[in-house]
Structure 1
Amino acid sequence: MDTIEDTALTLPDGSQITLRHALMEDVPAIVDLLVDDPLGHTRDGATRDGGYGPYERAFAEIATEPNQHLVVATDGRAVIGTFQLTFITGLSLRGTRRAQIEGVRVAQTYRSCGLGTAMMRWAISESAKHRCTLVQLTSDKTRTDAHRFYERLGFQATHEGYKMKL
């Protein structure tokens, strides 16, 4: 199993945050972050009405998979950010192991203060520690601010992505 340790980080403004595995009781706060996002609010029907069943079922499945890590950032009181980090071993690229980052969200009050950068740098570092030779992520084409953010971190838009709804 690929374990990830809780990590304390200091943001540029001196704020202390902790990155840790999400717990079932974090699900409502994670859903709040999803709902606060314009795309998340409209595309997957996320609501704040307490209908957490689908999210809790997904969380339970993620929690049992050793290469899945649902991570939250906390400020000591509240969940202020989240992302999912998945380690994938494949045969391509000479059997390389890659990391997939998904569902990156930062609370509005913590945007532009370095939290997103800290979360992604941590995810990249953890990926290297877990023998990944490649970190990948997808971002909706409409998220131009996010694209600039990822490019500043060193990500390159090297592929065109495709999806098929089932």
Structure 2
Amino acid sequence: MNDLEIRRAAAVDVPDIVAMLADDPLGAERESPDDLAPYLAAFARVDGDPHQHLVVAVRGGRVIGTLHLTVIPGLSRRGATRALIEAVRVHADARGSGLGTHLIEWAVAESRRLGCALVQLTSDVTRTDAHRFYERLGFTASHVGFKMAL
């Protein structure tokens, strides 16, 4: 991974990020890569928030991975700050290369550096391969999650 750079995402990266978000059965149903306007607006909000760390993995000038890390201050756990990992994606032709592991290890190290006491993530119930991946990296399936569309 010596030739890999993990850096803060820029607006120019949004098309590549959205393409990766849409490149699986779940993403294909909920993403619209042909209309970048809502993604660019969302990027501006994310980029302007110091608690948001949207990064891309770049090799040879090409975006091949992404991850979104959110730092959440809280009162529980004696006022602990936690980190939330979301939107982990690896470009189809870079899967199996160890990039996903590298991205998660980066996120855990960055969470520690930022003073977080806990790092958490969610994964769709249908992503059983991802569940095994996260468990291999030391995450524990400890909670049941709920969502409500608004």
TM range (shorter): over 0.9
1:47 and 2:47 matched: no
Match of 1:81 in 2: 65
Identical aligned pairs, as a percentage? 55
Deviations 1:20-64 (A, max 9, x none): 00000100000110111211111x2x2332x10000000000011
Deviations 1:128-151 (A, max 9, x none): 011001000000000000000000
Q: Mapping of 1:146-161 within 5 angstroms? A: 146-161=130-145
Deviations 1:89-146 (A, max 9, x none): 1000100010000001001111111000000001000100110010000000000000
Letter in structure 2 aligned against 1:83: L
TM normalised by structure 2 equals 0.97
In the alignment, structure 1 segments of 5+ residues that lack a partner are 1-8, 11-15
Match of 2:83 in 1: 99
Distance in structure 1 (CA, Å) of the matches to 2:32 and 2:73:
34
Count of matched residue pairs = 150
Deviations 1:51-98 (A, max 9, x none): 100000000000110010111001122110001001101000100010
| Aligned-residue CA RMSD (Å) | 0.9
In the alignment, structure 2 segments of 5+ residues that lack a partner are none
Match of 2:123 in 1: 139
Match of 1:32 in 2: 19
TM normalised by structure 1 equals 0.88
Give 3-state SS (helix, strand or coil) of 1:118's partner. Answer: helix
Give 3-state SS (helix, strand or coil) of 1:120's partner. Answer: helix
Match of 1:110 in 2: 94
Give 3-state SS (helix, strand or coil) of 1:54's partner. Answer: helix
Distance in structure 2 (CA, Å) of the matches to 1:101 and 1:76:
25
